Amino acid sequence: MNTNTATERVKHEVLAEDPHLRRGPRGFPLLPGGYGRSTYFTGEPSPYAVRGVGFRVWDDRGRELIDANNNFTSLIHGNAHPEITEAAIKALSAGASWGIPNLWEWELAELLLKRVPSLDQVRFTNSGTEAVMSALRIARAATGRDKIVVTRGGYHGTSDVALVPGGPSYTKGVPQGVIDDVTAVPLNDIEFLTQAVTAAPEAYAAIILDLLPNRAGLISISEDFVRAARELATKHGIVLIIDETISLRLGYGGLSGEYGVEPDLLTTGKLIGGGFPVGAVAGRGELMAEVDPTRAGNLPHGGTFSGNPVSMAAGAAAVRLYTDGQVKRLNRLGDAVRTAVSDRVADSGWEIRGRGSLLRAVPAGAEKVSEELQHRLWWATYERGLLGSPANLLSLSTEMDENVGADIADRLADAVNSVAAGDDRA
């Protein structure tokens, strides 16, 4: 079937009935609230994607949008990149998944370890959330300890431990025992971190860091803080986990590579799957031995689709395409967009935070932005043909150039100034 014809058919069917209103036999919406992910929610019924190509996406309301959401930073090469698509189709044509190892796992593992040469082995999962869960379990098994240090506002997925740094609004349903095992320290507060660890160093299995936490307003963890965490971990036999599920895009060896700090375990996902479900734990050999099935007393680790050939093949293509030159070019483009927007929204009392190819508009000096204000800005950018995340995080893709960057800056600056002035409520 012609792709455009198929797209028009799907679009017509979606438009014929608001998907949020589709209900099952007992009257409930088929999806809770009408959403397949809570992170889609923008305060009102959301548009539905119909098609995406390069840096553009089209929705069921007939809008053509610049895609700066990129599935929450995953699509580093934009939508439907031909080389990634070809790799995925080739793998799928040979079999979507099997119950024995596949050769694509080796290829992606080799590509990742070339970027983080201080680490020795990789184990794949289905998501960044699972990667963090696995890394924490490895750390606990290796140390025989339970407690974890996190930074407030850090985001490490949706497992029980990972929800704790989000604060009370995120810990509903999390057992108190889990909460008690997690020490959340203020961002970049080295003194607090040092006091927390040295008060009971024998209790801590791991320190886990999100180097550019969007939940905390997209403020970078400082190099001094990361180095202090590394020194404390080394001194007290604690496992340092650096979560680069998002920040891997910011350097050829991730943001930790830019800092020159070597983690004991590194977790990642998103861009390394080429748009397919993926996560990974890379680590030092003596730690990764905990999940070695040939070793007595190993930790069982499974996942029906972990390391599946389609994700591995697409991911390998994506990683190969994201060369050191592309990393640097995309970071320069992000810096240019951030500067351009900052100059135009400063008088409205807003600032543009971030690093490299990641940026976010927030009221100047804000430590926390209300969901209501985030949603207002989301709709303001959407109305101007720019798609970001519901928390207003924008991520650039390699399909974008200086002209697209300038276009993004224009649309974002106009949306921010409109929200600041209250014009979006009119």
Out of 59, 60, 155, 210, pick the active-site residue: 155
| 270 given a catalytic annotation | yes
| Integer Cα distance of 275 and 64 in angstroms | 20
As a residue count, the chain comes to 426
Q: What span, in angstroms and rounded, lies between the C-alpha atoms of 42 and 35? A: 11
Strand partners, 52: 57
Q: What is the 3-state secondary structure (H, E, C) of 29-55?
A: ECCHHHCCCHHHCCCCCCCCEEEEEEC
Please state the φ and ψ torsions of residue 195, each to the nearest 5 degrees: -65, -40
Cα 199 from Cα 62, distance rounded (Å): 58
d(CA 96, CA 90): 10
Question: Exposed, middle or buried by CB within 10 Å (0-12, 13-18, 19+), for 183?
Answer: buried
**What's the rounded Cα separation, in Å, for the pair 376 and 194?**
39
Cα 271 to the center of its chain, rounded Å: 9
Place of tokens 């959340």: 184
Q: Say if CB 68 and CB 387 are below 8 A apart.
A: yes
The dihedral of CA 45, 50, 52, 58: what is its sign? negative
Is residue 79 helix, strand or coil?
strand
Specify whether 243 is catalytic: yes
Q: Which of 11, 59, 264, 270 is catalytic?
A: 270
Q: Residue for token digits 């390069």?
A: 54
**Is residue 148 within 8 Å of residue 185, measured between CB atoms?**
no
Q: Residue 263 corresponds to which amino acid?
A: P
DSSP string covering 376-391, please? HHHHHHHHTTEE--TT
Helix (H) or strand (E) holding 131: helix 128-143
Q: Which of 59, 67, 181, 243 is catalytic?
A: 243
Q: Is 187 exposed, middle or buried (0-12, 13-18, 19+ CB in 10 A)?
A: buried
Catalytic positions: 155, 243, 270
